[in-house]
Amino acid sequence: MLGENIKKLGFGLMRLPKIGQEEDIEQTKQMVDIFMSKGFTYFDTAYVYDNGKSEIALKEAVVDRYPRDSFVCASKLPLWSTTSEEQLAGLAQESLDRAGVDYFDFYLVHCLGRELFDKAERLNVFPFMEKFKAEGKAKHIGFSFHDSAELLEEILQKHPEMEFVQLQINYKDWEDEVVQSRKCYEVARKYGKPIIIMEPVKGGSLVTMPDAVQNLFRSVQPDLSIASWAIRYAASLEGVMVVLSGMSNLDQLNDNVGYMENFQPLSEKEQETVAKAVDIINALPTIPCTACKYCVDGCPMSINIPGIFKAMNNYTVYNNLASAKKQYLEATKDGGKAGDCIQCGQCMEHCPQHIEIIETLQKAAEVFGE
């Protein structure tokens, strides 16, 4: 299978440590050094992550410091603001230049759903990807995906040249009708495509769990973190090439590499434990936001939508208004409040989770009083 020599934990460069608004490159370098010293090699970035600073961080923390054949890296072609076929080569070259590499090991069309797939067809993105590969600028081509299993099947039928897919899979959304983790996984398997898993911890949501869930996990594995269950669950699936974790500090990195260095798939008992945890979580009505931030850039009121949703979920899970309000105030200190939404609908076109953002912000404004 493609990528079978790659250790299953990938370093997602989407939520790097920061000092103020800037990437903490020194801490990132320390994280990279530990990651590489344990035999992990996969780094994932994208043109749009942190307005290009993520690709630059890849260059500074990895590319400039390690031989090119000692790691593999992936980046992604953005289609959101792309209006013509002629722009594609320039965008892809910009990614190569920022990352300081001659080629990406894995190059993806970013975030395909119905709308962007139709656009990709209009702009001849798939022939462009094949040409990019033929020129030696990508070893392997694929796409990341946020939509229904039906659309995934349509794309894979039309484009057998796509060698792999990147899917959002986590134990909470395995049977979810919107995210469709299981159904998408099964389509990818049917077409024999290796799978890269993104958002295994649901943007951190599967760490801040109710006490009942945390106690359940700890009763089975007292020494393992809550996050470990989500990442090991994803890595235990057949046909998975790598599981991405967007690591933001040394503690997260050390935790992840600890249990993934000598990865053991979940045992039958552990699988049963995860199923029980899902039953407990499903009884709670939380917002399925993964904090991808695709909704944020175009918001005319600069509303920190994922930050507000995180505070709302905190309130739902822990029922502690004071703590959730503190989190809400922190999330909105530099931008619009939930009640500032002018209902333009721009954000909803970009949400891969299809969240009713406007309605949910109205509820948040009621809960937090602003």
By CB under 6 A, tell whether 48 contacts ligand SF4. Answer: no
Q: Interacting stretch for ligand SF4, rule CB under 6 A, among 49-57, 60-68, 270-278, 339-347?
A: 339-347
Residues 239-298 that bind ligand SF4 (CB under 6 A): 289-295
Kindly state whether residue 308 participates in binding ligand SF4, applying the rule CB under 6 A: no
- Does 19 bind ligand SF4 (CB under 6 A)? Our answer is no
User: Does position 178 bind ligand SF4 by CB under 6 A?
Assistant: no
303 binds ligand SF4 (CB under 6 A): yes
Is residue 205 near ligand SF4 by the rule CB under 6 A?
Answer: no
Coil, strand or helix: which one is 160?
coil
Length of the chain in terms of residues written: 370
Helices (H), the chain: 25-37, 53-58, 87-99, 114-122, 125-134, 149-158, 181-190, 211-220, 226-235, 250-260, 268-282, 305-318, 321-331, 357-368
Instruction: Specify the residue, 265 or 345, whose C-beta has the smaller distance to ligand SF4.
Output: 345
Instruction: Identify which range of 20-28, 262-270, 274-282, 351-359 contacts ligand SF4 by CB under 6 A.
Output: 351-359
Instruction: At 252, give phi and psi (nearest 5°).
Output: -60, -45
Only one of the segments 42-50, 58-66, 244-252, 302-310 lies at the binding site for ligand SF4 (rule: CB under 6 A); that segment is 302-310
Rule CB under 6 A: is residue 305 a binding residue for ligand SF4? yes
Interface residue with ligand SF4 among 257, 353, 364, 368 (CB under 6 A) is 353
Considering beta carbons, is residue 72 or 198 the nearer one to ligand SF4? 198
Q: Does 311 bind ligand SF4 (CB under 6 A)?
A: no
Q: How far is the CB of 346 from ligand SF4 (least distance, A)?
A: 4
Q: What residues form DSSP beta bridges with 76?
A: 108
Question: Is 181 an interacting residue with respect to ligand SF4 (CB under 6 A)?
Answer: no
337 binds ligand SF4 (CB under 6 A): no
365 is a site residue for ligand SF4 (CB under 6 A) = no
Give least dist CB 171 to ligand SF4, A. 18
Q: Does 206 bind ligand SF4 (CB under 6 A)?
A: no
CB of 101 closer than 8 Å to CB of 73:
yes
Give the DSSP per-residue string, 267-331: PHHHHHHHHHHHHHHHTS---------TTTTT-TT-B-HHHHHHHHHHHHHH--HHHHHHHHHHH
CB 61 within 8 Å of CB 29: yes
Distance CA 268, CA 144 (A): 30
The span from the CA of 274 to the CA of 62, in Å, is 35
| Shortest spacing between CB 246 and ligand SF4, in angstroms | 13
Distance from C-alpha of 194 to C-alpha of 282, rounded to nearest angstrom? 29
Question: Contact at 8 Å (CB) between 276 and 217?
Answer: no
Give the shortest CB-205-to-ligand SF4 separation in angstroms.
10
Nearest partner of 291 among 209, 203, 178, judged by Cα: 203
> By the criterion CB under 6 A, which residues form the site for ligand SF4?
289-295, 299-301, 303, 305-306, 309, 341-347, 350-351, 353, 355, 357-358, 361
